[in-house]
Amino acid sequence: MNATPALSPMPRTLEVESLERFDALVAGGATAMAGWHVQSVDLTQRSGALKALDPSGAMFLGCRLADGMEQSLRTRGALVFPILPGVPFDPYRPTLYTGPELYAGVTVRPYEQTPDALIYAWTKRQGRAGVESAISAALHDHHIGEALQEALDGAFAGRRIVGVMGGHVAPRGSRTYDDAARLGRGLAAAGLVVATGGGPGAMEAANLGAYLSAFPERALDAALRQIAVVPLFRPSVSAWARAALGVLGGFPGGAENLGVPTWFYGHEPPNMFATHIAKYFANSVREAVLLEKCTGGVVFLPGAAGTVQEVFQDACENYYGADGTITPMVLLGVRHWTEELPAWPLLSRLAEGRGMAGRVHLVDSVDEAVAVLR
């Protein structure tokens, strides 16, 4: 399954995603731009170079151009997709997000004035808005999918991705939160890349634990104490985010890990501890992408409806999966998954006689979960 159909590039295309890359190509003697995909680059000071180049067959996606240059490029054979007005994000974005970027300014302004909040507010205003809004969101999600694949082929290349799914309500300072953090640390310390839904609660905890796996264990203990002073993102996302920034400031350069949140649940803010954030508008795409990329398996922490949905969405993929594509499923919390929300009996019955039969596990401790996936 490929849930984010990132369109495969045509042969010999060239991605130009920064002004430095553009300048290097020009300095290297380029004369024609056929096959160039120039994405979100400010070219307002490069009109001379653009006039000297043959742009036929090139594509410009959301680039800033000097007056008259857009028409010049089109006339000479380029495709130009303009910056869309009134959209508080880059639909042609070439890279993933970071937490400090989404929360830019939160140290001096309320969360409601940060990029993350402004984009969420934009989604709520759209309602039945026209095709331009739908196209903007779809283009954004397509390019985020491409950026995510680039990260998997680059920063995370050669490493297994393990998902940690769990509820968003676990407060900082709770046993559930601390266990999720130690799970994230244990998985990352075993050489696995931790991926979560990128939100608060158990998701934040797992990303935090993975991030701090680059430091001695006492660092995680200190961070858990430090961050617990603001247990929840309600009533103040601002205070919640600032507490996380305080931890990041004290422990810079943590281990790389992944968060895949969504503005569909924009009332649940993204966490700061995922170093690579693939934030989508379409939740259905986000859910499918997250499970698809977790080729090393998934740990399901105690959760409610959303986590149960993820359990059986993953189970469906494994149930019909071909040999070699089935990934481990680890349900952590015997009482929760057999009594409170008894998903385990149904899951284990579903697995009988299928290729997934030996790939579903019920465990009761963080160490057991790590051991299964290691």
Dihedral sign of CA atoms 19, 22, 25, 29 in order:
negative
Question: Which helix or strand (DSSP H or E) is residue 58 part of?
Answer: none
Q: Is the pLDDT of residue 5 over 60?
A: no
pLDDT digits (tens, 9 = 90+) for 37-83: 999 999 999 999 999 999 999 999 999 999 999 999 999 999 999 88
* pLDDT tens-digit map of 157-192: 999 999 999 989 999 999 999 999 999 999 999 999
∠ CA(174), CA(231), CA(121), 5° rounding? Answer: 130
Query: Which tokens belong to 94?
Result: 């070439």
pLDDT digits (tens, 9 = 90+) for 265-275: 999 999 999 99
Q: Are 39 and 17 in contact (CB under 8 A)?
A: yes
Angle formed by the axes of helices 343-351 and 305-319, nearest 10°: 0
All structural domains of the chain with their residue ranges? 14-81
Residue 126 pLDDT: 80
Mean pLDDT, residues 324-344 = 97
Q: What is 72-126 written as a DSSP string?
A: HHHHTT-EEEPPPTT-SS-TT--S-B-HHHHTTTTTTS-GGGSHHHHHHHHHHHH
Query: What pLDDT is stored for residue 13 in this prediction?
Result: 84
Q: How many CA atoms lie within 13 A of 160 on its CB side?
A: 16
What pLDDT score does 1 carry? 40
- CA-closest candidate to residue 257, choices 158, 356, 161, 330: 161
Binning pLDDT at 50, 70 and 90, where does residue 131 land? Answer: confident
- Give the position of tokens 């359990």: 311
Q: Could you identify the residue written with the tokens 């999918």?
A: 145
What are the C-alpha distances in Å from 300 to residues 27, 196, 197, 372?
A: 52, 10, 12, 13
Percent of the chain predicted with pLDDT > 90: 90
Question: When comparing pLDDT for 311 and 135, which is higher?
Answer: 311
Say whether pLDDT at 3 is over 50. no
9-25 residue pLDDT tens: 444 689 999 999 999 99
Contact 325/355 with Cβ under 8 angstroms?
A: no
pLDDT digits (tens, 9 = 90+) for 200-220: 999 999 999 999 999 999 999
Q: What's the pLDDT at 49?
A: 97
Strands of the chain (E only): list them.
14-16, 36-39, 59-61, 79-81, 161-165, 193-196, 258-259, 276-277, 298-300, 329-332, 360-363
Mean pLDDT over 289-304 rounds to 95
Q: pLDDT-based confidence at 7, cuts 50/70/90? A: very low
Is the Cβ–Cβ distance between 36 and 16 less than 8 Å?
Answer: yes
| Predicted local distance difference test score (pLDDT) of residue 240 | 98
- Tell me: pLDDT of 145 over 90: yes
Residues of the chain with pLDDT > 70, as a percent, come to 96
